[in-house]
């Protein structure tokens, strides 16, 4: 290429990239204007409620590390508008990923959203700081059934966010005989047609259940048996996806599998033929929680964020966007009077309002301590085969 | 002082190279040494590194397992060797298809009217303005069971009255190959184009004068003279394909495990940075070996500088 041609090409590139940059600049200028005006309305037109538990905040930002697709846009935008604190959000799609990044150090995050079993591990590694309940008046919003679990007695390190189950999801239009148990998923007729969460403990756990073992076994022989059995299932799993397994279900790429509460409900809203089945061996029960990291640089803003986003007139947004089982009684009460349609749908669906026998029959994943490497190795080996 | 620097050419050179040297030292050499040290360590149950000197991670990688059927002290488990082999074969296949697609296109662009040439090159570059990951996601839309390709095929088959069941394309090794070819195509087109464009047209005239037909001219003149571009492109394609994990994660449905996925998982899912480090180093060594033999045969491809 001669010099002149090269120059023309470069000029074109520069002009085009400047044009693109200009577009970006315009957008951000608009937000600053609306901020100065006063009325606290999000870009989506949602009027932000005032803080129910106002906090003193000196930090200007807060760093959160959260599950993908798990926080309604308005929730964080309102917090930013009300407190003038910028929220920096990073996302993860497995507890293991979150743990690996946080334990590597220097992450600078204030808040994370660990699921039950990883909390004991994080506490043992001294990654979490004890919560000051005096700074969390929002705690009174929670249903006592979701507090004081074995994974964190007395809620020393965590407060609840959302709860749910891992169970079977099936498109009854496309699958003639819907599975009723985890064991059924091994049937050859389903092979190549399944989506699973990319979740090692849940997948190994349900395999252990089909063998009649405990989901938290530390017995190497039982785990070895589970590995052999899981190795037969994995080739029939078309897709592992923890970010948005509903997409493949709705698009018809797969017709059944294992997923968690809201993904099944959202898929069902798109296609009523999609059903959620609590397997006979028992579903996996879990709860996601908020926890603060030991070296959180903006603890004041983090407390404010927890108190604001979990107040009833804000947290009801979860029912609309991420309909998991909601431990927040104030949010449910708010929805009951102000968002009747959402509330009724929530209460009527066995997916979100989990039947009592499904809870009784369910299993909770717990930290397995020294046996953790056994689980980790099974996962790598069955998936790599 | 300044006066002396102005006169001393070698001091000038050192000074100019200093920023890059520091950069490479901090961001390449130190991390590499850390990786090496960690790869000889052991993991704790919670996933921390226990510094020690053991070759366990390398032994495990090459398949010597102590977890064997009863009665055997050691046995061979080909799991990780298979993953390495799968990655190598994917990298070879990708490079082969990319060359087959890129060469004719580069040839066409190099032979086009100079005014149109920039336009064509521009079109080759445009996709690179979009984020790599987004372009991979776009392929999901095309390859789905109810995606664009199946819909169009359905129409055609319908019009021809041939029964049609949607093809299963997404989440297969084939989808990963297509994604890789697409992502790395521009990195082959540009260096091949550069070397084709540099060929003096009087050489073609000379070949014609000496009685060579167009096929012979291509084989004896064009192809040898454009080889540096092919070599440079191969290096630019082969090495990244060996290490990429995003394409196989997204288009393979996390089912197609390449060595890049294996490494990523060791750090994020399996909490075993020691094994992950060992796998990274083996990947580097493997890539270096392949590149070494390749460049010894074909030269280093000066076009890499131009590209």
* pLDDT band per the 50, 70, 90 thresholds, residue A35: very low
Residues in chain B with CB shorter than 8 Å from the CB of A8 are 118
A158 and A67 part of one domain:
yes
Residues in chain A with CB shorter than 8 Å from the CB of B267 are 100
User: If you average pLDDT over every residue of chain B, what do you get?
Assistant: 89
pLDDT above 90 covers a percentage of chain A that reads 79
Q: Which of residues 104-133 of B touch A (CB under 8 A)?
A: 114, 117-118, 121-122, 125, 129
The reply to whether residue A384 touches residue B83, judged by beta carbons under 8 angstroms, is yes
A319 and A266 part of one domain:
no
A258 and A279 part of one domain:
yes
Mean pLDDT of the A129-150 span = 95
Helix, coil or strand: residue A220: helix
Q: Which of A1, A100, A379 sits opposite B194 (nearest CB)?
A: A1
pLDDT of B295 reads: 84
**By CA distance, what is A385's nearest residue in B?**
B79
The reply to whether residue B146 touches residue A252, judged by beta carbons under 8 angstroms, is yes
The Cα–Cα gap between A61 and B26 comes to: 30
Mean pLDDT of the A51-59 span = 93
pLDDT of B70 reads: 65
**By CA distance, what is A118's nearest residue in B?**
B46
The reply to whether residue B145 touches residue A380, judged by beta carbons under 8 angstroms, is no
* pLDDT band per the 50, 70, 90 thresholds, residue A271: very high
pLDDT of A376 reads: 85
CB A299 within 8 A of CB A108: no
The Cα–Cα gap between B61 and B4 comes to: 55
Mean pLDDT of the B211-219 span = 89
Domain membership flag for residue A12: no
- Both tokens of A165, joined, read 């189950």
pLDDT of B28 reads: 92
pLDDT exceeds 70 at position A68: yes
A196 and A121 part of one domain:
no
- Both tokens of A172, joined, read 């009854």
The Cα–Cα gap between B260 and B176 comes to: 13
Q: Which of A238, A371, A384 sits opposite B79 (nearest CB)?
A: A384
pLDDT of A291 reads: 97
**By CA distance, what is A201's nearest residue in B?**
B269
The reply to whether residue A99 touches residue B118, judged by beta carbons under 8 angstroms, is no
Q: What is the CATH number of the domain that holds A88?
A: 3.40.190.10
Q: Which of B45, B255, B268 sits opposite A239 (nearest CB)?
A: B255
pLDDT of A43 reads: 87
List, for residues A336-367, the tens digit of each pLDDT value. Answer: 999 999 999 999 999 999 999 999 999 999 99
- Class in CATH terms, B79-306: mainly alpha
* pLDDT band per the 50, 70, 90 thresholds, residue A22: very low
pLDDT exceeds 50 at position A29: no
The reply to whether residue B144 touches residue A124, judged by beta carbons under 8 angstroms, is no
- Using a 10 angstrom Cβ sphere, with 0-12 exposed, 13-18 middle and 19 or more buried, the burial of residue B213 is exposed
Beta partners for A67?
A92
- Both tokens of B264, joined, read 């990523």
A138 and A177 part of one domain:
no
Whole-structure pTM value: 0.83
Among A37-46, A271-280, A319-328, B165-174, name the one with the lowest average pLDDT: A37-46
**By CA distance, what is A96's nearest residue in B?**
B269
Would you give the end-to-end CA distance of chain A in angstroms?
A: 48
State ipTM.
0.81
A70 and A143 part of one domain:
yes
* pLDDT band per the 50, 70, 90 thresholds, residue B66: low
Residue from B151, B175, B270 whose CB has the most chain A CBs within 10 Å, to mutate? B270
Q: Which of residues 48-77 of B touch A (CB under 8 A)?
A: 48
Mean pLDDT of the B162-170 span = 89
pLDDT exceeds 50 at position A32: no
Strands A86-92 and A158-171, sheet pairing: unpaired
pLDDT of A9 reads: 52
The Cα–Cα gap between A178 and B81 comes to: 39
CA dihedral A165, B45, A65, A111 (to 10 degrees): 90
Among A14-28, A128-142, B17-31, B53-67, name the one with the lowest average pLDDT: A14-28
Distances (CA, A) of B255 to A59, A235, A382, B150, B167: 43, 8, 10, 22, 18
Nearest-Cα distance to chain A for B259, in Å, is 10
The Cα–Cα gap between A191 and B59 comes to: 34
* pLDDT band per the 50, 70, 90 thresholds, residue A223: very high
* pLDDT band per the 50, 70, 90 thresholds, residue A30: very low
Mean pLDDT of the B264-268 span = 88
The reply to whether residue B270 touches residue A379, judged by beta carbons under 8 angstroms, is yes
Residue from A8, A204, A376 whose CB has the most chain B CBs within 10 Å, to mutate? A376
Q: Cβ of B49: how many Cβ atoms within 10 Å? A: 16
List, for residues B279-294, the tens digit of each pLDDT value. Answer: 999 999 999 998 888 8
Q: Which of B122, B146, B267 sits opposite A251 (nearest CB)?
A: B146
What count of CB pairs under 8 Å joins A to B?
102
* pLDDT band per the 50, 70, 90 thresholds, residue A283: very high
CB A141 within 8 A of CB A330: yes
Residues in chain A with CB shorter than 8 Å from the CB of B79 are 381, 384-385
Q: Which residue has the tokens 């509903």?
A: A246
Q: Which residue has the tokens 């079993």?
A: A117
Residues in chain A with CB shorter than 8 Å from the CB of B269 are 94, 96-97, 100, 200, 376, 379-380
pLDDT of A155 reads: 95
The reply to whether residue A376 touches residue B122, judged by beta carbons under 8 angstroms, is no
Residues in chain A with CB shorter than 8 Å from the CB of B253 are 238-241
Domain coordinates of chain B in residue numbers? 79-306
The reply to whether residue A380 touches residue B269, judged by beta carbons under 8 angstroms, is yes
Mean pLDDT of the B189-218 span = 91
Residue B151 contacts A, CB cutoff 8 Å: no
A70 and A125 part of one domain:
yes
Cβ neighbors of A68 (< 8 A, separation 6 or more) are: A91, A92, A93, A242, A243, A244
pLDDT of A20 reads: 46
A364 and A225 part of one domain:
yes
* pLDDT band per the 50, 70, 90 thresholds, residue B306: very low
φ, ψ for residue B195, nearest 5 deg: -75, -30
pLDDT exceeds 90 at position B88: yes
Query: Domain tally for chain A?
Result: 2
Among A182-186, A194-198, A240-244, name the one with the lowest average pLDDT: A240-244
List, for residues B89-119, the tens digit of each pLDDT value. Answer: 999 999 999 999 999 999 999 999 988 999 9
- Listing DSSP states for B243-261 in one string gives H--HHHHHHTTT-S--HHH
Residue B272 contacts A, CB cutoff 8 Å: yes
A154 and A273 part of one domain:
no
Domain membership flag for residue A303: yes
pLDDT of B63 reads: 83
pLDDT above 70 covers a percentage of chain B that reads 94
The reply to whether residue A380 touches residue B125, judged by beta carbons under 8 angstroms, is no
The reply to whether residue A5 touches residue B265, judged by beta carbons under 8 angstroms, is no
A144 and A208 part of one domain:
no
A312 and A297 part of one domain:
yes
List, for residues B42-53, the tens digit of each pLDDT value. Answer: 988 888 899 999
Cβ neighbors of A360 (< 8 A, separation 6 or more) are: none
Domain membership flag for residue A313: yes
Nearest-Cα distance to chain A for B290, in Å, is 24
A136 and A185 part of one domain:
no
The whole domain housing A67 covers: 61-163+286-355
């Amino acid at each position: 290429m001669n010099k002149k041609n090269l120059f023309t090409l470069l000029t074109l590139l520069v002009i085009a990239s400047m044009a693109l940059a200009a577009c970006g600049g315009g957008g951000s200028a608009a937000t600053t204007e609306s901020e100065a005006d006063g009325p606290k309305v999000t870009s989506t037109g949602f009027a932000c409620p005032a803080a129910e538990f106002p906090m003193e905040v000196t930090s200007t930002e807060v760093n959160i590390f959260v599950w993908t697709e798990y926080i309604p846009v308005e929730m964080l935008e309102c917090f930013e508008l009300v407190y003038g604190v910028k929220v920096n959000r990073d996302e993860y799609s497995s507890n293991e990923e979150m743990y690996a990044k946080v334990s590597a150090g220097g992450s600078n995050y204030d808040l994370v959203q660990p699921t039950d079993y990883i909390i004991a591990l994080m506490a043992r590694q001294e990654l979490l700081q004890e919560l000051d309940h005096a700074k969390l008046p929002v705690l009174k919003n929670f249903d006592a059934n979701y507090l004081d679990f074995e994974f964190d007695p007395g809620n020393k390190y965590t407060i609840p966010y959302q709860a749910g189950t891992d169970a079977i999801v099936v498109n009854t239009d496309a699958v003639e005989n819907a599975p009723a148990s985890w064991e059924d998923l091994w049937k050859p007729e389903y092979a190549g047609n399944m989506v699973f969460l990319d979740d090692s403990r849940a997948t190994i756990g349900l395999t252990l259940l089909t063998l009649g073992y405990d989901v938290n076994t530390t017995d190497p022989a039982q785990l070895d048996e589970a590995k052999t059995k899981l190795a037969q299932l994995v080739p029939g799993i078309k897709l592992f996806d923890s970010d948005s397994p509903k997409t493949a279900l709705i698009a018809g790429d797969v017709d059944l599998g294992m997923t968690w509460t809201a993904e099944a409900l959202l898929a069902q809203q798109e296609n009523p033929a999609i059903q959620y089945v609590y397997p006979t061996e028992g579903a996996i029960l879990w709860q996601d929680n908020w926890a603060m990291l030991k070296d959180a640089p903006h603890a004041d803003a983090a407390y404010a964020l927890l108190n604001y986003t979990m107040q009833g007139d804000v947290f009801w947004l979860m029912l609309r966007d991420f309909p998991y089982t909601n431990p927040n009684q104030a949010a449910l009460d708010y929805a009951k009077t102000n968002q009747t349609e959402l509330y009724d749908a929530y209460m009527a669906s066995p997916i979100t309002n989990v039947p009592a026998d499904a809870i009784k029959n369910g299993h909770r994943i717990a930290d397995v301590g020294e046996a953790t490497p056994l689980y980790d190795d099974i996962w790598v080996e069955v998936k790599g085969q | 002082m300044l006066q002396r620097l102005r006169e001393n050419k070698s001091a000038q050179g050192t000074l100019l190279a200093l920023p890059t040297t520091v950069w490479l030292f901090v961001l390449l050499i130190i991390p590499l040494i850390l990786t090496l040290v960690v790869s000889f360590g052991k993991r704790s149950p919670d996933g921390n590194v226990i510094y020690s000197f053991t070759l366990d991670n390398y032994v495990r990688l090459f398949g010597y397992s102590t977890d064997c059927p009863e009665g055997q002290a050691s046995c061979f488990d080909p799991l990780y060797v298979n993953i390495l082999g799968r990655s190598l074969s994917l990298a070879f296949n990708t490079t082969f298809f990319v060359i087959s697609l890129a060469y004719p296109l580069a040839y066409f662009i190099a032979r086009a009217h100079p005014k149109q040439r920039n336009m064509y090159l521009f079109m080759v570059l445009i996709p690179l303005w979009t984020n790599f990951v987004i372009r991979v996601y776009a392929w999901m839309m095309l390859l789905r069971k109810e995606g664009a390709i199946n819909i169009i095929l359905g129409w055609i088959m319908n019009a021809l009255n041939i029964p049609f069941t949607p093809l299963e394309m997404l989440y297969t090794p084939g989808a990963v190959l297509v994604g890789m070819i697409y992502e790395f195509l521009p990195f082959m087109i540009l260096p091949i184009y550069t070397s084709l464009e540099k060929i003096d047209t009087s050489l073609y005239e000379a070949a014609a004068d000496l009685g060579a037909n167009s096929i012979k001219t291509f084989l004896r003149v064009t192809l040898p003279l454009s080889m540096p571009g092919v070599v440079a492109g191969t290096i630019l394609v082969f090495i990244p394909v060996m290490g990429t994990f995003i394409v196989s994660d997204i288009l393979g449905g996390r089912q197609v495990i390449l060595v890049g996925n294996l490494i990523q998982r060791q750090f994020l899912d399996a909490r075993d940075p020691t094994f992950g480090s060992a796998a990274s180093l083996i990947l580097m060594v493997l890539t270096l070996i392949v590149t070494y033999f390749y460049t010894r045969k074909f030269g280093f491809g000066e076009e890499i500088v131009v590209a």
